[in-house]
Amino acid sequence: MIASSLRASTKLSYQIAFGLTGAVSVGTSGWLFRDLADLSQWVLKTDRHDVFETFRLRHKIAITSAASAVVNSAIYFRTRCVPFPAYLAVNGTSLLLLYSGYVNPELMMRPRNRDAVYVPSSEVLDLLKREETVIVTRLGSDEPRAYPDSQVLRPHVARVGTTSDGIPVSMTYCGLTNLGIAYEIPNHEDGNEVELVPLTQLENNLVLMDKSTGHIGQQINGISETAFLKKIGGDSYHETSRRPPENLLKEIKLHASNIGQEVPTWRMTLGNFVRTYPNGDVFINDYKEFKDLKNPVKTIYDSLMDYIFAVSVYFQATNPKPVFPTLGTIDPRLPPKEQVWGFNVGDDYVAINEAFVRDAPNGLRNITVGGEPLVAAWDKDVASLGIWRRPSSNPVKHPVDIHGRINGKGEPLERLNTVKNGAFWCVWATFFPQTRVNPES
């Protein structure tokens, strides 16, 4: 009887140990899943400070989860203190959550910082449809490069090249915002290169990390929030959720590697890009277009991820509600998914839509932003909207083409570099609520 009581007591101790280690394993994996897996944000609005802190601690949390799972497994296989289905439920759940929050984000969003693949304009229509939309940028006198939304969607980051001064330029892309921004970012003070990699999304906009420092920031804001928070002596990443005023950025003197300088971009269709820039190049996502048939597991995985991403961005583009319910009250001045061309000069922010410019006389809107005379111009021949600096306060009265030439001749105007082309209004207005909408001439 005593022996039976001891056996029962021992079994209970093992069950308690199994339960505790299982709870730690599932709990820590769930922590990573909640804050770092996109799937969780379909139903949860995670706290941005928690997300950034979880990311900073992710390796320690993952090690804790894995170690707890190992101990939990050892207890089970040594004692068989619980039924096998219970063991399977605990460790299967932990493994799935750990994979989703810790492993999968890096696998499904593989940036192309060093091995970006480009195809000449003359060949790209053999791969892609001419109706596809692209974001275009150009470095100095180099030929333009185009980034189809469908191709840059999963990598999120692709190296464009370097400026004449040797400064690296990367195209960053967020399908939830419908936004591509090319950033020129010099090396760190120690000479190490800034290497941007996608992390997650917050408020339906991409969060990026600098791989060499671990610094984090939102794509649309273009700054290292980690460096900014340290400079201002802040306690929470809530203090860095919006781009600070320009005078504050100058005052705190962030190193140039912590502030992305925008390179001009514009939108058009792939067919019009090929026709306009016959010597240009087009970015191709190699793991989307060139499947590795020798690795069927990877091929099936990438095909599945491509499908999930495509469905998500289609939903985002065609439904008034955002894919992730992480936005607050949506500004009612425009429909939530209206595509806007948002830009700023200093702290004066403006958003215009295509119809506002396209339907104006000669496809022109002369406006002043931050005291600077600008002209928004619609080139009907290539169906592209551009924002240009006017040479004087005098209004531009004749059509401006894709190259910035007035009436197709003369010296080209300079493109404004801060333009975010075709961003969804609900996201743009969340980050820049002070924006003016379709200001009259």
Contact call for residues 160 and 182 (beta carbons, < 8 A):
yes
Q: Which structure tokens are listed for 296?
A: 């069927």
**pLDDT score of 44:** 72
Per residue in 35-47, pLDDT (tens digit) is 998 777 777 778 8
pLDDT of 1 over the 60 cut: no
Per residue in 376-397, pLDDT (tens digit) is 999 999 999 999 999 999 999 9
Contact call for residues 221 and 206 (beta carbons, < 8 A):
no
DSSP states of 300-365: HHHHHHHHHHHHHHHHHHHSSS-SSS---SPPTTS-TT-EEEEEEETTEEEEEEHHHHHTSGGGEE
pLDDT of 405 over the 90 cut: yes
Confidence of residue 5 (pLDDT cuts 50, 70, 90): low
Q: What's the rounded Cα separation, in Å, for the pair 200 and 217?
A: 10
Nearest to 144 by CA among 165, 171, 178: 171
What integer is the mean pLDDT of 19-26? 95
Confidence of residue 48 (pLDDT cuts 50, 70, 90): confident
Per residue in 210-259, pLDDT (tens digit) is 998 999 999 999 999 999 999 999 999 999 999 999 999 999 999 999 99
Lay out the sheet containing 348-353: strands in order across: 420-424, 339-345, 348-353, 436-437
In this structure, the strands spanning 117-120 and 133-137 are: unpaired
What integer is the mean pLDDT of 7-23? 86
Per residue in 205-224, pLDDT (tens digit) is 999 999 989 999 999 999 99
pLDDT of 441 over the 70 cut: no
Confidence of residue 3 (pLDDT cuts 50, 70, 90): low
- Provide the mean pLDDT of the chain: 93
**pLDDT score of 6:** 53
Confidence of residue 171 (pLDDT cuts 50, 70, 90): very high
Per residue in 277-301, pLDDT (tens digit) is 999 999 999 999 888 778 889 899 9
Instruction: Please list, residue by residue across 77-104, b when 16 or more beta carbons sit within 10 angstroms of its beta carbon and e when fewer do.
Output: eeeebbeeeebeebbebbbebbebbbeb
Contact call for residues 168 and 194 (beta carbons, < 8 A):
yes
Nearest to 375 by CA among 366, 383, 384, 386: 366
What integer is the mean pLDDT of 9-30? 91
